[in-house]
Structure 1
C-alpha cells in the first residue's frame, strides 16, 4: 500500500480542481490528477503537484461514463492500493437565459446531469470500498449556490447542483460512519468558466453589493475542501456555502 495518503480530484486540470490538488500536495498527499479533455493543463497540474515533493498519477476520464470511472478507480487501486479523499470537482455548464426554455435541449440536459450529478455518484460508488479502508475517508462534492437558490448559468445547471446537494445528504447517511460526505457551495468564482461570458469589470460589479464584495478565488474553495476533508471529523451531510454572504 502507498505510504502517503492519496487524494483524487476530478477535473483538476485548472481552476478549483488544480487549487485543491496543490493544497493536498502541500499536506503531503499523493495526488490523482483527473481530466476529461484539457490534457496539456492537466500535465501542468501534475508538474506543480510533483514540485511539492509528492507523487502524481494522471488519468483521463469523463466522469459521466460509469465504465471509465470504474477503470480510473481500478488504476488508483492497482498503482497505490488506497484512496483517502475524493473531491468531485469535475463539472460543466451552458450559459442559457432561464426564460429561454426552448434553448435548453435534451442533449444539454443529459450532458449537464451526466457530468454534474451522475458523475459524482459514479465516482463515490466506485471508490467507496477504498475510502472505507482509510482512517478518515472523506468525499467533498464541489456544488454551487445555484443548487440552493436556483440562480445560475442555466436551469439545468441549477437542477444538477440541487441534485448533487441531495446526493450529499443521502450518501452521508448511507456511507457513515466510515465515509463522510459533504459539499462546498461556491458563489461566483473568478475562473475561466465565468470569464467565458463576462469581463473582470462585470464580475466585480456583480459581487459589489455582497457583504464581502468580491468573487471567490479557487484557493478560497480549496481552503474549504481541505477543511471538510482534514479539519473536522464530525461533519457530514453538510452544504457549506462560500459566497461572500450572497445567499445570506
Structure 2
C-alpha cells in the first residue's frame, strides 16, 4: 500500500503515555499517524520515529488544543500532507492535583486550563476535523475520558467535572455527526504512566487498585486497545462510554 493510500489517524497528546500507545497501535495496523503535542516535542519526535520504523508516514504537529486557531491550522496541515483523516483520538488532557476538600485551592486559572484542554479542546478538534472525517467511508472520533467522570473522585473536582462534560459531549457529537462519523469515549481507571506518577508522587497506585476485581493499574497499551477497538474494530457503536478500569466502577 502506498503511503498516500493509507488511512490517517490523529492522536492529540500523542507523544507520551496513552497517546503514544495509540499512535503505535495505529501505525502497526498500517495507518499514517499525526502526533499532536503542546510541550513534549522530544517525546513526540521519538514517537514519530518509532511509527516510521513500522513502515508508515508520521508527522508531529505542535498545537495547543485549547486554542481554536491553532487547531484549525493543525487540521489544515493534515489536509495538505495527507488529503484525508479517518480517525481522531482526543487524548490531550491536563489536571491540577488539588484535594477535593480544598475548595479555595482550586483556582480560576486551574479551572480555565482544565476546561480549555479537557473539554473545549476535544470540541475544537472534532469540529475542525469534521469535514475530512465525513469523506470516504466515514470516520471515527474516540475521546479519552476518565472514570473520574463517573465517580466524581480524581485529581481534582475540576478534572472530574471536565471529564463528565466530555462524556456528555461524546453523546451529543455522536448524534449530530451520524451516520458518517462515529463518536465514542473510553474511561480509563488508574494508569501506570508518567502523567499520574509525576503529577502526584504521593499517590500509591498499588494501594489504589488493591480492592479492584482486577487489582492492577492499567498500562497505556490497555487503554489503547479500547481506543483502537472503537476507532476501527466496530462499525455500529456510537455514543458509547466504556470504562477500562479493572472493575473499579462495578456496582
Cα deviation code 1:73-115 (max 9, x no counterpart): 0000011100000000000001000010001111100000000
Are 1:198 and 2:198 an aligned pair?
no
- Which contiguous aligned blocks of 4+ residues in structure 1 show a shift greater than 4 angstroms? none
| Residue matched to 2:122 | 120
Are 1:227 and 2:229 an aligned pair?
yes
Cα offset for 1:199? Answer: 6.2
Cα offset for 1:2? Answer: 2.6
* TM-score (ref. length: structure 1): 0.98
SS at match of 1:159: helix
Q: Distance in 2 between matches of 1:203 and 1:74?
A: 40
Q: Is the Cα–Cα contact under 8 Å of residues 95 and 154 in structure 1 kept in the other structure? A: yes
| Residue matched to 1:66 | 68
Q: Distance in 1 between matches of 2:23 and 2:87?
A: 11
Cα offset for 1:193? Answer: 1.6
Q: Is the Cα–Cα contact under 8 Å of residues 171 and 181 in structure 1 kept in the other structure? A: yes
Q: Distance in 1 between matches of 2:202 and 2:47?
A: 25
SS at match of 1:2: helix
Q: Distance in 1 between matches of 2:51 and 2:24?
A: 6
- What are the residue-to-residue correspondences of 1:1-248 with 2, within 5 Å? 2-196=4-198, 197-198=200-201, 202-248=204-250
Q: Is the Cα–Cα contact under 8 Å of residues 83 and 134 in structure 1 kept in the other structure? A: no
Q: Distance in 2 between matches of 1:162 and 1:79?
A: 34
Q: Is the Cα–Cα contact under 8 Å of residues 73 and 127 in structure 1 kept in the other structure? A: yes
Q: Distance in 1 between matches of 2:247 and 2:60?
A: 36
Cα deviation code 1:41-98 (max 9, x no counterpart): 1111011100100000110000000000000000000111000000000000010000
Cα deviation code 1:13-64 (max 9, x no counterpart): 1000000000000000000011000111111101110010000011000000
Runs (5+) with no aligned partner, structure 1? none
Q: Distance in 2 between matches of 1:68 and 1:112?
A: 17
* TM-score (ref. length: structure 2): 0.97
Q: Is the Cα–Cα contact under 8 Å of residues 2 and 82 in structure 1 kept in the other structure? A: no
Q: Distance in 2 between matches of 1:203 and 1:107?
A: 28
Aligned residues: 247
Q: Distance in 1 between matches of 2:152 and 2:115?
A: 15
Runs (5+) with no aligned partner, structure 2? none
Q: Distance in 2 between matches of 1:34 and 1:204?
A: 31
